Amino acid sequence: MKIYPSMNKNNTALLVIDPINSCAHEKCETPEWNIHFTKIRQMLPKLENFLNDYRQKIGGLVVITTITPWNKENLPNNINELYTDPSAYYYSDDTSGFDEQFYKVKPDNSDIILTKNTYDSFSNGQLDKLFMEKGIKYVVVTGVFTDGCVLASIVSGFSKGYNFVILKDLVETTDSSTRQQLQKLLIEYTFPVMYGRTISSNELFEEISS
C-alpha cells in the first residue's frame, strides 16, 4: 500500500535544501568550532545521482535552495540578535559569492532556484506561491542540515498544510556526534511521528505514480 495513495508527479515537488559550499566545502569548515562536513560531502554525490534519476523517471517540479550572503546585513533581526551569543555566532566573512554556490549538485534548466536569508525555505514567500500555483500537496525533502534548515522547512511547510516525505538517506548534517545523534532521532522518531513519511530514495520511485 502506498504511503500517500493520491501522490503523483503532478501534485508533488522535490525540495533540495542548501547543497552549497558553505554547508559542504572543506574551505567552509570551522575546526575550532568542531564544524566538519565529511558526511555531507559523502552524501551530495548520491543526491546528484538521485536528482538525475528523478528528472528522468518522474519529471516533476524541482526546487533547489541557496542562501543570501550569511552576514549581518542580509539576515533578519532575530538571527542577528541570536548571534550576539558567542556560542550561536555563525556569520560568514565571505564576500566573493563562493559560499552560496552549489557543491556537487548541478541544477537543471527546468529547476527553480530559490534564495533565502534564514533557515526556513518557506520564509521566501515565492515557494508557497509557486506550490499553490502548481497544485502541490506533497513535498519530498532532501538536503542539509537535517537538524537546521531541513527541520525548519518541514515544520513551517507542515503548518501550511503540505504533506511531507523525507528521504532519510539524502539528508545530512555536520560530523558532530551530538548533531548526528539528533539527526538519528529526527529521522527515526520526530519526522515520521509528527511531520511526514520517512523513506529511502529508492523507495520513492515506487511511491509516485505517473
Q: What is the CATH number of the domain that holds 155?
A: 3.40.50.850
**For residues 138 and 5, is the Cβ–Cβ distance under 8 A?**
no
Residue 101 located in a structural domain: yes
Residue 174 located in a structural domain: yes
Domain that holds residue 153: 12-207
Residue 6 located in a structural domain: no
Instruction: Find the Cα–Cα–Cα–Cα dihedral 108, 111, 103, 18, rounded to 10°.
Output: -170
**For residues 68 and 74, is the Cβ–Cβ distance under 8 A?**
yes
Nearest Cα to Cα of residue 119 among 59, 75, 61, 84? 75
Residue 56 located in a structural domain: yes
The β-bridge partners of 8 are 209
What confidence tens digit (pLDDT) does each residue in 133-182 have?
999 999 999 999 999 999 999 999 999 999 999 999 999 999 999 999 99
**For residues 103 and 21, is the Cβ–Cβ distance under 8 A?**
yes
Number of domains in the chain: 1
pTM over 0.85: yes
What confidence tens digit (pLDDT) does each residue in 36-62 have?
999 999 999 999 999 999 999 998 999
Nearest Cα to Cα of residue 61 among 46, 74, 51? 51
